Each structure stands twice: as C-alpha cells, then as structure tokens.
Structure 1
Amino acid sequence: MRINGPNHSNFNPYRKNINTQQQAGETSAKKDKIEISNEAKQMQEHQKAKETRKQHIESLKQKVDSGEYQVDAKQTAASMVNFWKNR
C-alpha cells in the first residue's frame, strides 16, 4: 500500500516546524548574555579573603606544631584590656 502519491515523495508536514525551531535556536544563541551582579562579585572577593586566611592559619598551625610560634603575653593582655574598655 502506498501512502504518498508520486508527487509527494519529499513531502514532510513537520518540516516547517523543524525549520522555525532551528531558526529560533540560532537567533536566541546570539542574544544570550551573562551578567554578574555586584553582590556576586563581592562574594567572589570574600572567597579570596577566606583562602588567604586559610593559608595564614595553616602557617600558624605549622609554627605551633614545630614550637617556633611565640606569644607575647603582655601584648595579648593589653589587646584584651583595650577590647573590653572600648565596649
């Protein structure tokens, strides 16, 4: 049984839909745009600060473990007193 006649060998009723979908996809790709908000930029900078802080803490841990880290008790006490006075 032949469904298509001799003149309809290249007939595809969905071709128009396929073509419009492809064209819509091509035009929307040209319009894509990415913007990073100021809040996101600040969060990225804050993340960098965390990384440097982690490195500093690691170096302090190594100094404490090796016995190289020395604490100035007078300076620590003075800082604590100044902290509580300014509250």
Structure 2
Amino acid sequence: MKIYGPNQPNFNPYKNQAQHQIDNAKEVTKKDQLEISSKAKEMLETDKKESKRASYVQQIKESIDSGAYTINHEKTAQKMIDFWSGKGGR
C-alpha cells in the first residue's frame, strides 16, 4: 500500500466548488422565458367579453335610472317560453 503525502494526485478539494461556480454562471446567462398556454389565451378573450358585457349592463342601469328604459313584454314572454320549452337559452 502506498501512502501519499499532502499533495495527493487526483485530489483537489476546491475542484467541486469551482465546478459549481461554473455551473451557476451558465445558469445566470440563460434568459427568462414566458409561455402562455392556449387555455390562458382563451381566458384572456373571456375577460374581454366580460368587459363588453359589463359596459352593456352599465348602459342598461343608466337608462333605468333615467327612466328611458322600456320593456318589450311580448319579447320577454317569448324568451321565457323558449327557455322553459327547451328551444333556447341553454
């Protein structure tokens, strides 16, 4: 058996630390990326539709408050009949 002194071959305690620093430097140079899924894009479109609907509801509220809103009773009754008979609205 051979016993080596303090300068053993293939033994460098700082080698792992140096390699770790090199690996970290490579990770730092990577650019951040953002990928938006098709589901997320679809949800963004839904938000746009909801903002249009909110605008429409606000217009109706304002017309009710001013007294300018009129109700078409026949059209309302027809829509209720269609809904409950299964012809539309579902």
Q: Normalising to structure 1: TM-score of the pair?
A: 0.68
After TM superposition, which residue ranges in structure 1, 4 or more long, deviate above 4 angstroms?
A: 16-19
Percent identical across equivalent pairs? 29
For 1:41, the equivalent position in structure 2 comes to: 41
> Distance in 1 between the 2:74 and 2:27 partners?
72
> Distance in 1 between the 2:26 and 2:86 partners?
67
User: Quick check: which one's helix share is greater?
Assistant: 1
For 1:25, the equivalent position in structure 2 comes to: 28
> Distance in 2 between the 1:82 and 1:69 partners?
23
> Distance in 1 between the 2:83 and 2:20 partners?
71
For 2:9, the equivalent position in structure 1 comes to: none
Deviations 1:42-61 (A, max 9, x none): 00000111100000000000
RMSD over equivalenced CA pairs, Å: 2.2
> Distance in 2 between the 1:80 and 1:67 partners?
24
Q: Any unmatched runs of 5+ in structure 2?
A: 1-13
Q: Any unmatched runs of 5+ in structure 1?
A: 1-12
Deviations 1:15-72 (A, max 9, x none): x57963344312x22xx32211010000000011110000000000000000011001
Between the two proteins, the alignment pairs up a number of residues equal to: 71
